[in-house]
Amino acid sequence: MDNAPFGIFTTKGTDITFSNRYNQTLAGLDPDHVTDPDTFRQWIHPEDRERVLAEFAQAVANVQPYETVFRFLHVNGSVRKVLSRRIPLKNVTIHPPMYIGFNIDITALDQMQTRLSRAERLATLGQVAAGIAHEIRNPLVGIGSNAFLLLDEFDASDPRHADLEMILKETKRLDRIVNQIVDYARTRELAPVLCSLNDLADEVVKLLDAAISAKHLTITRSLPPTLTRLQADRDQIKQVLLNVVQNAIDASLDRGAITVTAFELPRGQQTGIVIKVTDHGVGIPDDALAHVFEPFFTSGKRQGTGLGLAICRNIIENHGGDIQITSEVGTGTSVRVWLPLRQEFQFVEG
Ligand SMILES: Nc1ncnc2c1ncn2[C@@H]1O[C@H](COP(=O)(O)OP(=O)(O)OP(=O)(O)O)[C@@H](O)[C@H]1O
Ligand SMILES: [Mg+2]
């Protein structure tokens, strides 16, 4: 019982009288260290604690079983989501009643569910996007090529010349948006290769050189030469870096500084790498920060579609990593990507 792969505990009334090793670990406690059973309460996530304690006390008062989902918050900040079931031992007629409880770790399940429902949304959006692309692309090509041909018919001083140029510019913009939507919604096959992050960063900086010079920005790269090569889809990771650095450039003020750092950081058993892009630009207000990864969320930049970060998140999560963004208005923004160094699934057969 002590080594069962789920938490087992007993209570007398609401007081815990026994807890197996797994349950200790679940709560973020050292299983080898005997702790005062009551400390469990304090490791329930503050947002869940009051509710769980009150509901369980109510169940105990009525000698009823109790089932709930709550979170444990560990000292290091990690959160475990738990399905908890507590059953009164009916044949024991002592007061307060005794309970046996089971805590099952559903953190991974919960994360998978969130990801799945996002995947479902994406699949629907993919169909819509394919429809849009089909409906818009052909007429767009027609409008664009006709406007281009007509341009020759009017003298540059003719106001209609400027009108036609405007039409051309707008059709190009629409075409770009349609392409981005299709790009966002398509399912990406991963083609992982070993790639050097240093080379990738060089290429990205070179591609964005015009925008960097126009604002007189300095880009500092702090990528140790000993950095292990990353196994990932090179084009996709490059796209992520391009999007993120482009955002940093957009947000920076004249003569601003942007830093790109990378270092190795394992997560559990997995070796991994952190890539961080920090700018000292305008920052993101709190209410906007919660939405930056949503498709079409944009603060209305001249060329923005609002798909950049949404695409980044898809790519990084497809690689089994995650992407986070922290920001303070007036101080700057930091985007932190964690990626596993190896893509394990490709070795799995069948
Ligand atoms: N480094 C940053 N500094 C300040 N704001 C940022 C930064 N990165 C992202 N944002 C905010 O998040 C929004 C969404 O970013 P995202 O890259 O998804 O779209 P976009 O840059 O507006 O358009 P797109 O990337 O499709 O051209 C931006 O419009 C901006 O408001
Ligand atoms: Mg962007």
Separation between Cα atoms, residue 308 and residue 247, nearest integer Å: 8
| DSSP three-state, residue 292 | coil
Atom 25, ligand 1: residue with shortest CA distance: 308
pLDDT at 347: 43
Q: Count other C-beta atoms under 10 Å from residue 13's C-beta.
A: 16
Across the chain, mean pLDDT equals 88
- Residues 46-70, mean pLDDT to the nearest whole number: 95
Task: Average the pLDDT over each of 102-111, 177-186, 241-250, 329-338 and give the range with the smallest value.
Answer: 177-186
Share of the chain above pLDDT 90, in %: 54
- pLDDT tens, residue by residue, 71-115: 999 988 889 999 999 999 876 677 889 999 999 999 988 888 887
Closest to 279 in 3D by CA, of 328, 338, 206: 328
C-beta separation of 327 from 289 below 8 A: yes
Domains within the chain, CATH numbers bracketed: 7-105 (3.30.450.20), 111-185 (1.10.287), 192-347 (3.30.565.10)
Ligand nearest to the CA of 253: 1
Q: Is the CB of 168 under 6 A from ligand 1?
A: no
Q: Is the pLDDT of residue 350 over 80?
A: no
- pLDDT tens, residue by residue, 9-27: 999 999 998 889 899 999 9
Ligand nearest to the CA of 250: 1
- Helix (H) / strand (E) element for 18: namely strand 15-19
pLDDT at 349: 39
pLDDT at 272: 93
Separation between Cα atoms, residue 217 and residue 278, nearest integer Å: 13
Separation between Cα atoms, residue 155 and residue 61, nearest integer Å: 89
C-beta separation of 58 from 39 below 8 A: no
Separation between Cα atoms, residue 278 and residue 329, nearest integer Å: 13
Q: Is the pLDDT of residue 154 over 60?
A: yes
Q: Is the pLDDT of residue 348 over 50?
A: no
